[in-house]
Amino acid sequence: MAGFGPATAQTVGDTPVRGGILNANIQTEPVGLNSAINPTMFIGEVASKIMEGLVAFDADLKPVPALATRWDVSPDGLTVSFDLRKGVKWHDGKDFTAADVEFTLKEVWQKLHPFGRSAFGNVTEVETPNPHRIVLRLSAPAPYLLSYINAYGAQLLPKHLYEGTDIVNNPYNLKPVGTGPFVFKEWVKGSHIRVERNPDYWQKGQPYLDGIVFRFIPDAAARVVALQSGEVDVSVGSALPATSLGQFGDASKYAFNLIEGNYLATIAFAQFNVRNAPLSDKRVRQALAHLIDKDALLKVVYLGYGKVATGPVPSSIANYYTSDTRRYPPDPERAAQLLDEAGYKADANGRRFKLRIITAAGNTQNARTAEFIKQALGKVGVDVEIQVPDFATFLRRVFTEQDYDLMVSSMHRMPDPTLGVQRIFWTQNIRKGVPWTNGSGYSNPRLDAIMEQAAREADETKRKAQIREWQQIVQEDVPLLELVEPQWYTVSTVRFRKLALQGDGLFSNWADAWLEPKK
Amino acid sequence: MTRNRIPAVARFLRRRIWQVVPVVFGIALLNFLILQLAPGDVVDVLAGEAGAATPEYMAQLRASFGLDRPLPVQLAYYLKNTAMLDLGFSFRQNMPVLQLILERLPATLLLMIAAMGCAVVSGVVLGVISARFVHRAADRAVSVFVLVTYALPTFWLGLMAIVLFSARLGWLPSSGMTDIGADLGGFEYLWDVARHTVLPALSLATFYLAVYTKLVRTAMLEYFGADFIRTARAKGATETRITLFHALRNALLPLMTMLGLQLGSILSGAVLVESVFSWPGLGRLAFESILARDFNLLLGILLFSSVMVTILNIFVDVVYAVLDPRIEL
């Protein structure tokens, strides 16, 4: 998005101004504020201002210190140690120590967090030689571990308020006590959450803002007006419809930030139910892949906000991404030929077979993608019926009843393929009734072996090679059509500034954010 | 109301309130059974939103929410709680259902009463004008006006009002019920809430306005030809007096019937208008609880509104008797 280059720069500044209340808007009101048990992004977008993690991720997704000041992985990959920041206090005045980290890791991340169970699964022993040092002993190397220790992937909880309680229903999940730059003040359900400056924040001089009000505006068009009328200063995490972004093109008034969601590494895709004929035939899936013009899809449905996806690992995960995978350029003739070979010849009316595309109601882009696919498939005689049930019904249909042919959705692939991507293709992760597991039913023992190897490979070069091969196998077998890497955008008035942009900026703590005085 | 009618009202209330109990209980049972037809449960949605889950964790959640128990057992628990007027706990929101409802109730009542009040008053005024000047320019103008407002979808009208009055002119706030940033007290607070109420209440009022206007117009035209009006004219009553005291009072009866029916919707709120204006009302709470399969909360809201609707209907019956002494309770 070359046109947004200059605008992007405006979100960053170097002369902070103190004071002022920031009015922020996110897409959906969260259900709680505990990211340590629930990785819904709307929770993280708010909770990250109050609660912190061990590190944050900079614009290149490299870890930078937060509550950990140093970290170290032993050459065999079996010991990971952290030096913790000294003099940090929880908002209720108690000291933050290694005991808090140990407690959250063992009792919360390992037991309750859906990614945490895998991310910290190899951790067998935790040592705390002193209150500011913690050492993890691993049963096997866990090269992905350091990618999950920010405020979103591994939020730290105060041991003294959670120990011995029912953690899932702990009242502090709704009025969190953290170490972050902002202190929780109030939550009026259906309206807003308000946080205030933490006067004792460990980063001296920060935060610059007196407070933040997160306002919940359920209607997308009303969110657009709220930013235009100045009732909201910043709209986070693609909360505005892409079709409205043209209204914020005036760079003297509005600023865009387009890298803050890179950490999530989202890909929009269409997933085949490979249990069903004719989709069980690889040639049919390849044929359908040849029918989707992803460039056109990106332009028509995403209005250019994103990139064409070329495989299961998004290009923003530069460490592991490879462009050296099989491509399926739009080619209806080749598609027809593949379908003929597979035995699905066109009948007298030119029709071949019928598919049902399912997508959850409430997401315009997914619905339009389904329509786009329907048109494309119709060209070679594949009829499509689009079904758009509500979210709960959609989940049941896809993951429990497995009653669908093609599912359109998007998933966060996260910075490390072992945790974010393996789950989609791994045979052992075909788990009836569990959302966002391997819902296609795809199973390839050779790929399973490579993914399992990559999960415990300490040698970075070898691991890269394994993950490259994994991407190539998946693109050959196409259990999923990887369509678009949508770009997460944050739109603000030019008054909103930050000292630095972060790759996990949706979950940055905004200690370094400020509001320029009104002109 | 004359003095000797008071015991009648008391008797009526005693009889009707006893009828409420089985009605509400039946509604509760029906609600519970119908909701079982919806695919998916609250744990599916929580796990789906989280973007990942493990089977162990989902099983653990279902057990702690009581969703692993057989349906008849769940039903028995629910009916027992209903009998004790315990609305239960919303596991999704991590709060008691009654607290969630009561937090939203003032906003809902304010919006709906403001909207209905506005619709009734202007409906009566416009209806009277129409009837008084029937088939003349004023009548036609009123007709066109109310039909246009009725035909426009309220959410669209609301959005356009926001675009004009908030974004363009900057006269009124676009969302919420109060100015969250400012800590206001006393009259300043009331003024702030009033400013926030104007656009949503007016948008919602347009939905009811046409019906009330047309009802009043038709009823009044009917009465203008009635014998008692002719008698009043013969007595030499002024046209204004005839319109307001003779025709209008009678025309209010059909209006009351319609209002009584629509009062039920007061408590279920107005999902679309609440969404457009970010109004923290019950309608959105109910709507979101359906999408989230948060059935404890949804059942609580449904039960709460059914109780209120039955009570409001009794109240409307009493008002009938006040307006028309011929009606027996």
Q: At what angle do helices B186-224 and B248-268 cross, to 10 degrees?
A: 130
Residue with tokens 């162990």: B56
Q: What is the average pLDDT across B35-41?
A: 90
Is the per-residue pLDDT at B266 higher than 80? Answer: no
Using the predicted structure, report yes or no on whether residue B304 has a pLDDT greater than 90. no
Question: Residue A167 contacts by C-beta under 8 Å, 6 or more apart in sequence?
Answer: A37, A107, A108, A112
pLDDT single digits (tens) B221-238? 888 778 888 888 888 878
DSSP annotation of A89: B
**pLDDT at position A6, please?**
41
Give residue B173's pLDDT.
Answer: 84
Considering only CB atoms, B180 lies closest to which of A194, A218, A221, namely: A194
- pLDDT tens digits, A411-455: 999 989 998 999 999 999 999 999 999 999 999 999 999 999 999
Q: Which of B57, B104, B107 sits opposite A114 (nearest CB)?
A: B57
Q: Is any Cβ of chain B less than 8 angstroms from the Cβ of A228?
A: yes
A332 upstream amide cis, omega within 30 of 0: no
| For residues B48-59, average pLDDT | 88
A235 contact B CB<8A: no
**Angle separating helix axes B97-132 and B248-268, nearest 10 degrees:** 150
**Most confidently predicted of A67-76, B249-258, B314-323:** A67-76
CA closest to A191 among chain B residues? B280
Pairwise CB contact (< 8 Å): A213 & B175: no
Whether the full predicted model's pTM is greater than 0.90, yes or no, is: no
> How would you write the pLDDT of chain A (519 residues) with one tens digit per residue?
333 444 455 678 888 999 999 999 999 999 999 999 999 999 999 999 999 999 999 998 999 999 999 999 999 999 999 999 999 999 999 999 999 999 999 999 999 998 888 899 999 999 999 999 999 999 999 999 999 999 999 999 999 999 999 999 899 999 999 999 999 999 998 899 999 999 999 999 999 999 999 999 988 888 999 999 888 999 999 999 988 999 998 888 999 999 999 999 999 999 999 999 899 999 999 999 999 999 999 999 999 999 999 999 999 898 899 999 999 999 999 999 999 999 999 999 999 999 999 999 988 899 999 999 999 999 999 999 999 999 999 999 999 999 999 999 999 999 899 989 999 999 999 999 999 999 999 999 999 999 999 998 989 999 999 999 999 999 999 999 999 999 999 999 999 999 999 999 999 999 999 999 887
pLDDT at residue B268 in the model: 65
Tell me which chain A residues have a C-beta less than 8 angstroms from the C-beta of B107.
Answer: 190
Nearest C-alpha of chain A: how many angstroms from B113? 20
Distance from C-alpha of B141 to C-alpha of B217, rounded to nearest angstrom: 13
CB pairs < 8 Å spanning A and B: 160
- For residue A275, what pLDDT is reported? 95
Using the Cβ of A358 and the Cβ atoms of chain B, whether some distance falls under 8 Å is answered with no
- CB count, 10 Å around CB of B80? 10
How many other β-carbons are positioned within 10 Å of the β-carbon of residue A133? 17
Q: Predicted ipTM?
A: 0.87
B143 touches A at CB < 8 Å: no
Ordered by where they begin, the domains of chain B are: 3-96 (no CATH), 104-323 (1.10.3720.10)
Q: How many other C-beta atoms lie within 10 A of the C-beta of residue A501? A: 19
Q: Is B166 on the interface with A (CB under 8 A)?
A: yes
Cβ–Cβ of A215/B175 closer than 8 Å?
A: yes
Half-sphere exposure at residue A184, Cβ-oriented, CA atoms within 13 angstroms? 22
B92 at the A interface (CB within 8 A)?
Answer: yes
- pLDDT the model gives residue A85: 97
Name the helix (H) or strand (E) containing A332. Answer: helix A332-341
Backbone angles phi, psi at A421, to 5 degrees: -110, -40
A83 dihedral zone (left: phi>0; alpha: psi -120 to 50; beta): beta
Residues of A in contact with B104 (CB under 8 A): 189-190
- Determine whether the interchain pair A436/B276 forms a contact, defined as Cβ–Cβ distance below 8 Å: no
- Rounded Cα distance between B270 and B154, Å, is 10
pLDDT tens-place string over residues B192-251: 888 889 899 988 888 888 889 998 898 888 887 788 888 888 888 787 888 877 788 888
Task: Verify whether the Cβ–Cβ distance A189 to B100 is below 8 Å.
Answer: yes
For residue A436, the cross-strand partners are none
Q: What is the DSSP string of B170-222?
A: --S--SSSS-SSS---HHHHHHHHHHHHHHHHHHHHHHHHHHHHHHHHHHHHH
Candidates B37, B166, B278, B296: best to mutate against A (most CBs of A within 10 A) is B278
Asked if the Cβ–Cβ distance from B166 to A225 is below 8 Å, we say yes
Report the distance separating Cα B13 and Cα A166, nearest Å: 47
